[in-house]
Amino acid sequence: MNLFLEALNHPADAFQSGKKAASWTIVGITILLNSVFEPILQHFYGASSPVIDAIKMLKITALGILSYVVICLAFWLICKSFGSKTAFRKHLSAWGVTYFPTALCSVVVAITEVLFYVFWNSTVWGMLLNFVFIGILIWKVILYFVYLKEFAGLRGGRFIGASVLMGVVILLMAAVSGYLGIKTPII
- At 34 the pLDDT is 86
Q: Mean pLDDT throughout 173-186?
A: 80
DSSP tag of 149:
I
Q: Mean pLDDT throughout 37-66?
A: 85
72: nearest Cα among 159, 183, 170: 170
Long-range contact pairs involving 136-140 (C-beta distance under 8 Å, separation at least 24): 136/101, 136/104, 136/105, 136/108, 137/101, 139/100, 139/101, 140/98, 140/101, 140/102
- At 25 the pLDDT is 85
User: Given a cut of 90, is residue 162 above it in pLDDT?
Assistant: yes
pTM of the model: 0.83
